[in-house]
């Protein structure tokens, strides 16, 4: 009759048996394998140290008397590079050393008399496993707390909201060590939901998937199963984090819920939920601060910074440029014949054109450049570390991109062009930073005026070599 066997699921633990008695070592290995442990074996202290350096050992069952190196010496060597492995010393001689003395003198978790049989040894193994879990959890919590403390300053740095959201997602992935994650934000209070296929909370507040990685990279709600969407709604409704096959963290700033993060968690139960909640709270405050900063500094229509914020950045950049002697340039852009767009298609069409213009400019600029709405249809671009030649290249690229911008309103095509004036800091700065701010802006404005007077849809650059006059250096082909 065939013998029935029960399949034991893997315990996830690795045990190292160290004993110079081959038969006893083999017996212990079989006994531990029955409990689902991965079991390694070594016949000497030297082999044991080599395995400990190359593998992640959770528990070591270590014979006290072995040729070449005693168990006590092995313990002392192991503790120089591994503080987490749990060690149970075994002895075949009850009078060898008192257990209390060994436990007091050495960093071990058990001292087993072989004459007491395997059942007593398994008790020591179970106790060591519990201790190992606590040690690992404590180490993970400490590492996680250090990670959060290091990440927090980056979260609270003033930056665009989308950059912040990506940073939060990457930080949480780093904290958990997994690759698929998504972040969604709730529609701000008072805003009208778009009804564009987004997920909705029980209160019909729109939840927009903003950014995702791994399987969420397409930022589309269809990648979530109905069960996952239900878990997200439940976490938002309760305000409580969920830790399971997915980690779901509501982002709350005080009593306000701003959004949610979901991270795939293939090893269920992993991660310190309390630490994750601390990080989520920090992330939510950073999001709220970014939103408030955006309200104060960003023009709603174009998505560019507003006039006040742009002038502040201009002043800061000019001061640094004067101090460290690096080139800086300014572009002033004015939409040609914008009044006719409003008169022909209506003011809503004009708003649409300005919004498209802002998006187009942002796509063409570098991350270090600062584009702003100076007033009406006039826009300004600050180009740090950019010479006259570089400013001309960027200005011409903007002019061409706007001229080719595909715009349609109520089925009709709208064509727009811009005139651009540029100015750069002179190589020899003789003015104060305060005067330089006024000077560079005035020169860019003069160049813009000449661009419009000379036919529009062109770039005029102010010549800084003589600090007087301006010359036409770019225009569309005729």
Q: How confident is the model at residue 147 (pLDDT cuts 50, 70, 90)?
A: low
Taking the C-alpha atoms of residue 305 and residue 294, their distance in angstroms, rounded to an integer, is: 8
The predicted pLDDT at position 293 comes to 74
Average pLDDT of the chain is 79
Q: How confident is the model at residue 474 (pLDDT cuts 50, 70, 90)?
A: low
The predicted pLDDT at position 194 comes to 42
Give the residue-averaged pLDDT of 321-350.
Answer: 90
Q: Which CATH class is domain 156-297?
A: alpha beta
Condensed to tens digits (0 to 9), the pLDDT of residues 248-276 reads: 888 887 777 888 888 887 554 445 566 67
Condensed to tens digits (0 to 9), the pLDDT of residues 22-72 reads: 988 898 898 888 888 899 999 999 999 999 998 989 989 998 888 888 888
| 478 token code pair | 């005729």
Residue 394 buriedness (CB in 10 A; 0-12 / 13-18 / 19+): buried
The predicted pLDDT at position 189 comes to 52
Query: If DSSP codes are grouped into helix, strand and coil, which group holds residue 400?
Result: helix
Long-range CB pairs of 435-443 (<8 Å, 24+ gap) are 436/318, 436/321, 436/322, 437/311, 437/314, 437/315, 437/318, 440/318, 440/328, 440/330, 441/314, 441/330, 441/332, 443/470
Beta bridge partners of 263: 181, 247
Q: How confident is the model at residue 401 (pLDDT cuts 50, 70, 90)?
A: very high
* Domain limits, the chain: 14-135, 156-297, 307-474
The predicted pLDDT at position 468 comes to 43
Q: How confident is the model at residue 244 (pLDDT cuts 50, 70, 90)?
A: confident
Condensed to tens digits (0 to 9), the pLDDT of residues 148-202 reads: 555 556 655 656 666 777 777 777 766 666 678 788 888 755 444 443 444 555 4
List residues with catalytic annotation.
Answer: 377
Give the residue-averaged pLDDT of 191-218.
Answer: 60
CATH code: domain 14-135 is 3.40.50.2300
389 pLDDT more than 50: yes
Q: How confident is the model at residue 397 (pLDDT cuts 50, 70, 90)?
A: very high
Most confident of 33-47, 91-105, 130-144, 454-468: 33-47
Beta bridge partners of 242: 248
- pTM equals 0.52
CATH code: domain 307-474 is 3.30.70.270
């Amino acid at each position: 009759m065939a013998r029935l066997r029960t399949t034991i699921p893997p315990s996830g633990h690795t045990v190292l048996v160290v004993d110079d008695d081959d038969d006893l070592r083999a017996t212990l290995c079989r006994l531990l394998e029955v409990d689902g442990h991965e079991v390694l074996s070594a016949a000497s202290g030297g082999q044991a140290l080599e395995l400990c350096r190359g593998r992640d050992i959770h528990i070591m069952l270590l014979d006290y008397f072995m040729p070449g190196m005693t168990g006590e010496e092995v313990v002392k060597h192991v503790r120089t590079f591994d503080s987490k492995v749990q060690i149970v010393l075994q002895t075949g001689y009850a009078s060898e050393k008192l257990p209390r003395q060994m436990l007091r003198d050495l960093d071990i978790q058990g001292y087993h008399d072989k004459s007491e049989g395997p059942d007593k040894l398994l008790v020591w193994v179970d106790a060591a496993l519990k201790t190992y879990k606590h040690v690992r959890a404590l180490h993970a919590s400490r590492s996680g707390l250090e990670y959060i403390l290091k990440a927090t300053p980056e979260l609270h740095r003033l930056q665009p909201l989308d950059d912040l959201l990506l940073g939060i997602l990457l930080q949480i992935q780093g904290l958990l060590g997994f690759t698929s994650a998504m972040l969604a934000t709730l529609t701000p209070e008072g805003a009208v939901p778009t009804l564009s296929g987004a997920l909705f909370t029980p209160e019909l507040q729109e939840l927009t998937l903003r950014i995702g990685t791994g399987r969420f990279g397409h930022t589309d709600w269809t990648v979530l199963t109905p069960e996952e969407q239900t878990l997200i709604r439940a976490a938002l409704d309760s305000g409580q984090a969920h830790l399971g096959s997915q980690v779901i963290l509501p982002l709350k700033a005080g009593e306000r819920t701003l959004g949610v993060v979901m991270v795939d968690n293939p090893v269920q139960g992993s991660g310190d939920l309390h630490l994750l909640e601390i990080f989520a709270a920090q992330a939510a405050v950073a999001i709220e601060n970014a939103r408030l900063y955006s309200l104060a500094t960003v023009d709603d229509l174009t998505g560019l910074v507003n006039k006040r914020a742009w002038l502040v950045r201009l002043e800061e950049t000019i001061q640094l440029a004067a101090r460290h002697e690096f080139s800086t340039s300014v572009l002033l852009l004015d939409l040609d014949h914008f009044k006719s767009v409003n008169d022909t298609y209506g003011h809503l069409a004009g708003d649409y054109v300005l919004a498209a213009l802002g998006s187009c400019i942002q796509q063409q600029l570098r991350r270090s450049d600062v584009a702003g709405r100076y007033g009406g249809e006039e826009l300004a671009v600050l180009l740090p570390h950019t010479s006259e030649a570089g400013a001309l290249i960027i200005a011409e690229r903007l002019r061409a991109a706007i001229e080719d911008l595909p715009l349609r309103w109520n089925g009709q095509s709208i064509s727009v062009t811009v005139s651009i004036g540029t100015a750069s800091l002179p190589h020899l700065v003789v003015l104060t930073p305060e005067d330089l701010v006024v000077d560079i802006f005035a020169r860019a404005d003069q160049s813009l005026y000449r661009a419009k007077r000379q036919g529009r849809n062109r770039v005029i650059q102010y010549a800084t070599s003589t600090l007087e006059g301006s010359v036409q250096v770019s225009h569309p082909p005729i």
